[in-house]
């Protein structure tokens, strides 16, 4: 509704309002603000709570490029380039650590081997460095890993992970320096539409007049859009994540890891060790600083284990390892994303620990460091909805990332900005992500583990 009362009460004016201060909204703001004059055509991000209070704050931050589709693999490749060079270009650290990502195939069966090789071919065609690994190569890469003799995996040596909270902060700083305004504690309660066009948004008592609104509100997007009469298949899901201590990480030096490879006891316990697969040298992941006290290491590459259904990535600055489910089993639909409980259930924590220790027995003695659930948005084919929606001029959605949106955010931001500017979209395939695709072809695609 757009009444006279609202028209009179308009407090702020923007060209584009982005709803949601997660990694997606901030990346869209960066790229959109760069294309516009900040005084005449302001870009405003409105965030209901604090930046990163949605799933971006809890993301694992893994930057995998191993996808079954060239569309998402290409976006992940382009986004990795942005993340990997972020500190050099922008001058802010986002905690990028090039420790490699190892994806273990679901099984040694012919169909899974075929899928693995197909995916690998896609990566090679896109110029992404990745190599197939047999059991011996995986054992050489990660000392102590338990894999069957016929196991197969794919290793991406050039990637790793970022620190999600630092990345959100850095992306916000970049958005501000590109001319965008960010307002936290500003919950958008309503999108104002008049004559089939977006006219503004309402936050509490205030209204912001604008021509375009991008709903990048993560697990909240479906509810916000349905209040406008736009029903998209976006489900808000509660996703648990568990933390355990990383073998060999020091208790004595919080904030800085000890060498996880040092010490006889670790040697004897078969603790996780990271060797360069080609040279055979012990490398313990990327070293980012010459000063030994500042060196950050990952005890092992990120593990995406399709066989046992989990992921594990070290968090060197806390000495913990994050563990979660790979795939959507155990995700729980929630009505109110903001009420997502603060503690994940005990059973999940036990499962995470035991499953990780089956693959890497060095974790069998690890301490439990607690669990945290986060809210994610899920679509029927596990791919995002990106583009205009609802038949309302100026209304766009960028949501439904189904657990793999952090690694795609730079490409999404660029492509959405191209779309908003009415330019051809080169940063992603808008047909692949068309928000209307389910209406046209029901159950057109179905997604596997994290959109694979
Ligand atoms: C445990 C876990 C691990 C993950 N690991 C990875 C990973 O390793 N790699 C990867 O690529 N992805 C990962 N993901 C997925 C990734 O976190 C998400 O895809 C991505 O962060 C989505 O970002 P977003 O900005 O779209 O949404 P969000 O980060 O959820 O941001 C949406 C924001 O909108 C705000 N908002 C909501 N409603 C309103 C409103 N009405 N008005 C104003 N603001 C509003 C929210 O407060 C929130 O801050 C993981 C997710 C989880 C839960």
Digit-coded pLDDT (tens) for 246-256: 998 765 444 43
pLDDT at 70 > cutoff 60:
yes
Residue 213 and residue 285 in one domain: no
* Cβ neighbours for 122, distance < 8 A, ≥ 6 positions apart: 67, 68, 69, 70, 73
From 322, 357, 378, give the residue that closes a domain.
Answer: 378
pLDDT digits (tens, 9 = 90+) for 116-164: 999 999 999 999 999 999 999 999 999 999 999 999 999 999 999 999 9
For ligand 1, the distance from its centroid to the CA atom of residue 375, given in whole angstroms, is 7
What is the CATH number for 264? 3.30.9.10
Residue 298 and residue 350 in one domain: yes
Cβ proximity of 232 and 385 under 8 Å: yes
Provide, rounded to the nearest whole percent, the portion of the chain with pLDDT above 90.
76
From 343, 378, 413, give the residue that closes a domain.
Answer: 378
Residues framing ligand 1 (Cβ under 6 A): 19-25, 46-49, 53-56, 58-62, 187-188, 216-220, 224, 239, 241, 324, 374, 376, 399, 401, 403-407
pLDDT of residue 289: 37
Testing ligand 1's pocket by substitution, the residue of 50, 396, 397, 406 carrying the most ligand atoms inside 8 A of its CB is 406
Q: What ligand 1 atom has the least distance to the C-alpha of 26?
A: 25
- For residue 179, tell me if it sits in a domain: yes
pLDDT of residue 249: 76
- For residue 38, tell me if it sits in a domain: yes
For ligand 1, the distance from its centroid to the CA atom of residue 23, given in whole angstroms, is 7
**Separation between Cα atoms, residue 410 and residue 76, nearest integer Å:** 9
Domain count, the chain: 2
- For residue 81, tell me if it sits in a domain: no
Mean pLDDT of 416-436: 97
- For residue 65, tell me if it sits in a domain: no
**Separation between Cα atoms, residue 60 and residue 322, nearest integer Å:** 7
Testing ligand 1's pocket by substitution, the residue of 17, 53, 56, 340 carrying the most ligand atoms inside 8 A of its CB is 56
Average pLDDT, the chain: 87
Cβ proximity of 32 and 180 under 8 Å: yes
For ligand 1, the distance from its centroid to the CA atom of residue 181, given in whole angstroms, is 20
For ligand 1, the distance from its centroid to the CA atom of residue 323, given in whole angstroms, is 18
Mean pLDDT of 231-240: 94
* Cβ neighbours for 158, distance < 8 A, ≥ 6 positions apart: 80, 84, 98, 100, 128, 129
pLDDT of residue 357: 98
Domain with 299, as residue range(s), is 101-157+238-378
pLDDT digits (tens, 9 = 90+) for 173-210: 999 999 999 999 999 999 999 999 999 999 988 999 99
- For residue 319, tell me if it sits in a domain: yes
**Separation between Cα atoms, residue 445 and residue 447, nearest integer Å:** 7
pLDDT at 84 > cutoff 90:
yes
């Amino acid at each position: 509704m757009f009444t006279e009362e609202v028209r009179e009460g308009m407090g702020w004016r923007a060209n584009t309002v982005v709803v949601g201060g997660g990694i997606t909204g901030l990346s869209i703001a960066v790229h959109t603000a760069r294309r516009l004059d900040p005084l005449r055509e302001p870009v405003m991000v409105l965030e209901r709570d604090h930046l990163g209070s949605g799933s971006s704050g809890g993301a694992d931050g893994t930057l995998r490029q191993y996808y079954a589709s060239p569309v998402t693999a290409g976006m992940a490749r382009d986004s990795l380039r942005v993340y990997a060079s972020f500190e050099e270009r922008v001058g802010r650290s986002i905690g990028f650590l090039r420790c490699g990502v190892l994806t273990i195939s679901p099984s040694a069966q012919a169909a899974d081997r075929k899928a693995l090789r197909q995916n690998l071919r896609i990566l090679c065609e896109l110029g992404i460095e990745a190599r197939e690994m047999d059991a011996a190569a995986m054992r050489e890469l990660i000392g102590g890993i338990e894999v069957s003799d016929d196991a197969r995996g794919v290793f991406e040596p050039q990637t790793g992970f970022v620190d999600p909270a630092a990345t959100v902060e850095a992306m916000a700083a970049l958005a501000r320096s590109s001319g965008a305004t960010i307002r936290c504690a500003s919950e958008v309660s309503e999108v104002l539409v008049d004559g089939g066009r977006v006219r503004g948004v309402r936050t509490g008592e205030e209204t912001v007049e604008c021509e375009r609104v991008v709903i990048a509100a993560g697990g909240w997007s479906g509810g916000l859009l349905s209040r406008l009469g736009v029903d998209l298949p976006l489900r808000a899901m509660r996703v648990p994540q568990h933390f355990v201590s990383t073998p060999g990480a020091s208790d004595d030096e919080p904030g800085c890891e000890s060498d996880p490879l040092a010490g006889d006891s670790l040697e004897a316990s078969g603790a996780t060790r990271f060797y360069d697969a080609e040279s055979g040298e012990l490398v313990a992941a990327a070293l980012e600083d010459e000063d030994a006290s500042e060196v950050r290491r990952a005890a092992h590459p990120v593990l995406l284990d399709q066989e046992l259904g989990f992921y594990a990535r070290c968090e060197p600055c806390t000495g913990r390892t994050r563990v979660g489910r790979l795939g959507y089993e155990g995700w729980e639909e929630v009505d109110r994303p903001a009420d997502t409980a603060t503690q994940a259930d005990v059973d999940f924590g036990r499962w995470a620990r035991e499953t990780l220790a089956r693959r890497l027995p060095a974790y069998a003695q690890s301490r439990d460091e607690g669990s945290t659930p986060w809210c994610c948005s899920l679509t029927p084919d596990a791919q995002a909805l990106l583009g205009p929606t609802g038949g309302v001029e100026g209304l766009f959605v960028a949501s439904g990332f189904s657990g793999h949106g952090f690694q795609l955010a730079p490409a999404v931001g660029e492509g959405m900005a191209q779309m908003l500017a009415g330019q051809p979209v080169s940063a992603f395939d808008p047909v692949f992500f068309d928000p209307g695709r389910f209406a046209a072809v029901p159950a057109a695609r179905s997604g596997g583990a994290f959109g694979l």
